[in-house]
Amino acid sequence: MNKYRILAGILVFGSVWGMLECILGNVNISWFPMGAFLGGFIGLGLMVFSRRLFGVVWMQLGMAIVAGMLRFWAPIGTCIICSALAIMAEGLVFELIFNRPVFNITKTGQSELKNWRTLAFLGILSGFVIYVIGYMFTQIMTPIISTGTFFVSDFIKVLPTIYGTGFFAAIFGGIALPLAVLTPQLSIDVNKIKKEHYYAIATGVSAFCWVLVIAFFHLV
């Protein structure tokens, strides 16, 4: 695939992911596990979907870097850099799981990974791991960056909460992965989209996401 198409894909999917992280991350619904939804459904779902469309490894880490950069523009909480780095860590974890040939979810992958049950199992595992690693990452990095100290006892005490709320990320992952891989309407051949349309849509969608976040958090 043309490398510029891939770069445009990284930009557009990363921007959409970052925009959803910023906007939905700002929504506070006490009964809804928003963090688990963002990691297990939105993040994982977009990474799986883009892997299906492009079939390019390490592209999703690029998306996470773009999403993390956009996250810098949304002052939710007070350790923005930690949240941005956590998104990037989630992208890295995705690559480490899905770059293994046995978990090849692209069209060239093994037939068993077209089975909804296998995909749901894999989604539960990956949704959980991606969320838990991201959560642990912020718990370690935030004290280090904000106060210059890190207490292992503080980290150990929060582990049951991280593990327990990971339940919801696992559920969301178990839904997102089969949905992103098996939904026929989401199966698009990006190579067949006309060049001028492809780049126009990628530029427009990316610009919309960045402008929306900057306007939402800095102008409104």
Partner 1 sequence: MTDIKRLNLILGILAVLILVTSCAAFAYIMIPKDTSMVVVNDVEYTWDELFENFQTTTFNAKDTSFEGILLSDIIYDTGLANPEGHQYIIASSDYQKTVNWTSMVNGFLVREGNGVVNDKITIFPGLPQQYWVYDVMTIEVI
Q: Quick count: other Cβ atoms within 10 Å of Cβ 114?
A: 14
Contact string 95-134 vs partner 1 (x = CB under 8 A): -------x-------xxx--x-xx-xxx-xx--x------
CB of 11 to partner 1, least distance (A): 29
CB of 135 to partner 1, least distance (A): 11
What is the rounded distance in angstroms from the CA atom of residue 125 to the CA atom of residue 113? 14
Give kind and range of the element (H or E) at residue 34: helix 34-37
Residue 210 binding partner 1, by CB under 8 A: no
Residue 94 binding partner 1, by CB under 8 A: no
Q: Quick count: other Cβ atoms within 10 Å of Cβ 99?
A: 14
Residues 40-65: b if buried by 16+ CB within 10 A, e if exposed = bbbbbbbbbbbbbbbbbeebbbbbbb
CB 42 within 8 Å of CB 20: yes
- Of 49 and 135, nearer to partner 1 (C-beta) is 135
Residue 207 binding partner 1, by CB under 8 A: no
Kindly state the number of chain residues that form the binding site for partner 1, as judged by CB under 8 A.
39
Question: Binding to partner 1 (CB under 8 A): which residues in 46-85?
Answer: 77-79, 82
Residue 41 binding partner 1, by CB under 8 A: no
- Helix, strand and coil content of the chain, in percent to the nearest 5, comes to 80, 0, 20
What is the rounded distance in angstroms from the CA atom of residue 7 to the CA atom of residue 13? 10
Q: Which of 154, 183, 186, 200 binds partner 1 (CB under 8 A)?
A: 154
What is the rounded distance in angstroms from the CA atom of residue 49 to the CA atom of residue 66? 16
| Tokens matching residue 57 | 């490894």
Q: Which of 57, 163, 187, 188 binds partner 1 (CB under 8 A)?
A: 163
Residue 143 binding partner 1, by CB under 8 A: yes
Residue 15 binding partner 1, by CB under 8 A: no
Contact residues for partner 1 (CB under 8 A)? 77-79, 82, 102, 110-112, 115, 117-118, 120-122, 124-125, 128, 138-139, 142-143, 146-147, 149, 151, 153-154, 157-158, 160-161, 163-167, 170-171, 174
